[in-house]
Amino acid sequence: MNVYAVLMAGGVGTRFWPRSRRKTPKQVLNIVDDSTMIQATYARLSGLAPDENILIVTNPEQKEIIAEQLPRLGDQNFILEPFGRNTAPCIGLAALHIAREDPDAVMVVLPADHVVAKVKEYQTVLKLAIEYAAEHEALVTLGITPNEPATGYGYIQAGEVATRKGKYRVHKVKTFAEKPNLETALRFLDSGDFYWNSGMFIWRASTILKEIEEKLPDVFEKLELVKAAVGTPKYEAVLEKSYRALKSISIDIGVMQRASHVYVIPADIGWNDVGSWETVYEISDKDKHRNAGQFQQLINIDSKKCYVYSPDKVVALVGVEDLVVVDTGDALLICRRSHAQQVKDAVEVLVKKGQERYL
Amino acid sequence: MNVYAVLMAGGVGTRFWPRSRRKTPKQVLNIVDDSTMIQATYARLSGLAPDENILIVTNPEQKEIIAEQLPRLGDQNFILEPFGRNTAPCIGLAALHIAREDPDAVMVVLPADHVVAKVKEYQTVLKLAIEYAAEHEALVTLGITPNEPATGYGYIQAGEVATRKGKYRVHKVKTFAEKPNLETALRFLDSGDFYWNSGMFIWRASTILKEIEEKLPDVFEKLELVKAAVGTPKYEAVLEKSYRALKSISIDIGVMQRASHVYVIPADIGWNDVGSWETVYEISDKDKHRNAGQFQQLINIDSKKCYVYSPDKVVALVGVEDLVVVDTGDALLICRRSHAQQVKDAVEVLVKKGQERYL
C-alpha cells in the first residue's frame, strides 16, 4: 500500500497572538511541548508513511521556517499555495500531485496544529482507516470520542457499523452537525453516537478527485489547469491565477456532507485542536498552585490558575488568578482565561490600525 | 533667615519593583510625572532655599543618578551615608554639617519621594513653619489634613493653638499615633484634630542637635566623632565606623514623641506619599475605561481599571480589570491592584534567592 501524508499547514492562528504571527503561526510554535506542533505531527507519522511521501501544504511565507523545523524533508516535500482557499482546494491540489505519481495511493490528510496524546492508538486507528479507504474506495474520517459537551467543534453522527476489527469499528456516517449550542451538545454527548469532527481524512487520491469533479466542478476545472502546467515554467502563474478564481470552501461542506461512501472511525486518541490559550492552560502540566506555562522564573505571591509564557524575564504574579500572560520581544498579552477566544479581537485591532510589525 | 533644605533620599522603595531597584529607587523614577520625584521635590523648593543650601542625604550607590537628575547641584550638595540607619542618624548628620556653617540656620527636612499637588500652599505653610521654628526654637512638623480614614499613615493629634497667621494655625502636638486600624482611623477622622504624619520637619540645626544630645546620647556621641573628623582624610572611615555602631532609629520615635516644644501645622497641600502601585493608579489620569499608565500602545478588549507601565511594547488587555502590569527590560509584574502592598513580598523572594541582578 502506497501511503501519503498531507499536512495542512497554512493557518495563521491569531488566537495565539502575540506568539503566533503571520510568519510564525501556531503550527511552528512549541506551544504545548518542546517540539513544535508540526514537528509532533510529523513524528507521529513514523512507520505510517515514508519521508518521501510526506507532503506539507503551506504558503511561501511559512515554508522556510517549516523546512528548518523538519530537516529530513526537502523542497520535494512541499506543495505551496499562493494563499489559502480553505481545505477543499488545498486537498485537491495535494491529491492532484499524488495522483500524478500513483492515483491509487491512499492519502492521509492531517491538520498540522493539533495535539494527539495517545500516539499508539492514533497509529492503529489510522492504519485501519487506510485499509478501509483503500479497499472500499471510501471517504474515511476520524471521529473523536467526546468527553465533554464541547460547543467549539463540529460533530459527526455515526450510523450503522460497516465493519469491525478488534475493538475498532468503521461506521457509515449518518450526518455532519455544525458547532452546537450547549443544550444540543449535551444531547449529542448523551446519545453516544456523536463524535467530534477532527478534520482528519483518509482516502485514495483518485477517490477524492472523483468526488471533487462531481461536487465541486469549478474547483476541479482549475485543478485540471494546474495539472496541465505541472513541471512547466508556467506552473506558478497558472496556480496563482487558478487560486485567485476560486472561492474558499471547506472539504466538509464541499464534499463530505454531500457524498455517499462516507465513513467515520471512532477514535479515543487524546486529541485536542488547541484552539486558544485557555486550551493550552488546560492541557499543560501545573504546579501545586495550578499555575502553568513556559518561563525562566516565576515568583508566586498568592496567585493561582495562571498560564505564563515569558522565556527571558523573571515574572512576579501577586494576588492574581485565572490569567494568561504572554510576553514576547515586542508585545505583551494579559488575558482573563475565560476570555481567551477574544485574543483574536486584539489582533483585529492591530489589523485595522495597519500595524503590520505586530501581525 | 538662613534656610537649608535636607532631602532624605536613601530609600529603596521595594514596593515599586520592578521599576524600583537598589540603584534606581522610587525617588529617581518618573512614576507619577515626567519629572522624577526628587526633581519635583527640588523644584518645589524654588524661592525657599538657595541651591547652595540644598543638601541631599543619600548613599554612594544612588549619588550618581541623583546628581545627573539635579544638574544644578554639585558634590558640595551631597551628604553620603555609608548605609541607612533610619531618619534619626540621617537628620543628625545633616544637622551636624549645617551647624558647622551656621548653628542658627533653620533646616527643612523633606522626604524626596512624596507628591505635593498644591505647591503654592506648600510653600506658604513651610514659610510659616520656618518662622515659627526660628522664633521659638521649636520642633515643627507638617500635619496633612486627612481626607479618608487611611490606615497606612501615622497620625498626629493637634492640641491647643499656639499661634495663628491668616487661615493657618500652629498647634502644640498632643500625641503621635502609630498607623491605626480602620475603626481607629475613622475615629481620628471624625475627631477633626488628627493629621497625617508627613515626615516633614522644620527646626534650627542647633535645636535638633540639642534634642539628639538629650534623647539619643549614643547617636550624639557618634555624631561628635564624625564632626571631629570633618575635613580630615579620616572622615569616611570614622563615619562608616560610627554608623556601624548605631542602631536604626527614627526621628519620630527617638525625638518627636519624647520632646516638648513639638508643634504641628495643619497643611492641605495635596500630599501623597505614593506608597504603592495602587496609589500611583489612584493619582494618575485615566481614560474612559479607567485605565491608566505609561505605555507605547494599549489595546483594550473589555478591560478596565488597570495600570500599565510598558514603555516599549504593545500591550493587549483582554477581559481583565483591577490589575497592575509593570514590564521592564528583565522583569514583569502582574499584580491585583488591591494586593499592591505585597509587591515587596515578591522582592523578598528575590532577596532570599540571592538574585542580585533583579534587586
pLDDT tens digits, B294-341: 999 999 999 999 999 999 999 999 999 999 999 998 999 999 999 999
Strands (E), B63-154: 78-80, 106-111, 115-116, 139-144
Distance of CA B342 to the CA centre of its chain: 20
Strands (E), chain A: 3-8, 54-58, 78-80, 106-111, 115-116, 139-144, 155-165, 168-177, 194-204, 262-267, 271-272, 292-301, 307-318, 323-327, 331-336
B185: CB partners within 8 A, 6+ apart: B149, B150, B151, B155
Note whether A247 and A319 are same-domain residues.
no
What range defines the domain where residue A28 resides?
3-272
DSSP A246: P
> Chain B contact for A356, CB < 8 A?
no
Mean pLDDT across A47-52: 96
Note whether B159 and B16 are same-domain residues.
yes
> What is the total residue count of chain A?
359
> Chain B contact for A341, CB < 8 A?
no
The CATH code of the domain that includes B190 is 3.90.550.10
Bridge partners, residue B266, by sequence:
B143
Top residue of A301, A323, A349 to mutate, by most chain B CBs within 10 Å, is A301
Note whether B112 and B181 are same-domain residues.
yes
> What is the pLDDT confidence band of residue A11, given thresholds at 50, 70 and 90?
confident
Measure CB to CB from residue B350 to each of A299, A310, A343 and give the nearest one: A299
> Chain A contact for B301, CB < 8 A?
yes
The pLDDT value recorded for residue B56 is: 98
Q: How far apart are CA A182 and CA A191, in angstroms?
A: 14
Q: Cβ of A318 and B339 within 8 Å?
A: yes
Q: Cβ of A318 and B334 within 8 Å?
A: yes
Q: Cβ of A327 and B330 within 8 Å?
A: no
How high does pLDDT run on average in chain A? 96
pLDDT above 80 (res A12): no
**B262 close to B171: Cβ distance less than 8 angstroms:** no
The pLDDT value recorded for residue B32 is: 87
CB-count burial class (<10 Å; 0-12, 13-18, 19+) for B76: exposed
Q: How far apart are CA B341 and CA B14, in angstroms?
A: 10
Mean pLDDT across A11-17: 85
State which of B240, B272, B304 marks the end of a domain. Answer: B272
Structure ipTM: 0.89
Peptide bond into A146 cis (omega under 30): no
The pLDDT value recorded for residue A14 is: 87
State which of B256, B272, B288 marks the end of a domain. Answer: B272
Measure CB to CB from residue B346 to each of A18, A318, A340 and give the nearest one: A318
Note whether A315 and A171 are same-domain residues.
no
> Chain B contact for A299, CB < 8 A?
yes
359 residues of chain B, pLDDT tens digit each: 899 999 999 877 789 999 999 889 999 999 988 899 999 999 999 999 999 999 999 999 999 999 999 999 999 999 999 999 999 999 999 999 999 999 999 999 999 999 999 999 999 999 999 999 999 999 999 999 999 999 989 999 999 999 999 999 999 999 999 999 999 999 999 999 999 999 999 999 999 999 999 999 999 999 999 999 999 999 999 999 999 999 999 999 999 999 999 999 999 999 999 999 999 999 999 999 999 999 999 999 999 999 999 999 999 999 999 999 999 989 999 999 999 999 999 999 999 999 989 99
**B332 close to B315: Cβ distance less than 8 angstroms:** no
Top residue of A303, A314, A349 to mutate, by most chain B CBs within 10 Å, is A314
Q: Cβ of B330 and A314 within 8 Å?
A: yes
Note whether B337 and B322 are same-domain residues.
yes
Residue type, B72: R
Note whether B332 and B220 are same-domain residues.
no
- pLDDT digits 0-9 by tens, A166-185: 999 999 999 999 999 999 99
Note whether A256 and A351 are same-domain residues.
no
The pTM is what?
0.89
Q: How far apart are CA B89 and CA B208, in angstroms?
A: 11
Note whether A143 and A207 are same-domain residues.
yes
Note whether A230 and A299 are same-domain residues.
no
Helix axes B87-101, B217-229, angle to 10 degrees: 40
Mean pLDDT across A228-238: 96
State which of A220, A242, A272 marks the end of a domain. Answer: A272
Note whether A102 and A230 are same-domain residues.
yes
The pLDDT value recorded for residue B1 is: 85
- Closest CA–CA distance from residue B339 to any residue of chain A (Å): 6
Q: Number of folded domains in chain A?
A: 2
Strands (E), B166-275: 168-177, 194-204, 262-267, 271-272
The pLDDT value recorded for residue B10 is: 84
Note whether A234 and A198 are same-domain residues.
yes
Note whether A66 and A120 are same-domain residues.
yes
Map grid coordinates 513580598 to a residue: B345
The pLDDT value recorded for residue B99 is: 97
Contacts of A332 in chain B (CB under 8 A): 310, 313-316, 325, 327, 332
- pLDDT digits 0-9 by tens, A342-354: 999 999 999 999 9
Checking phi first, is residue A19 left (phi over 0); if not, alpha (psi -120 to 50) or beta?
Answer: alpha
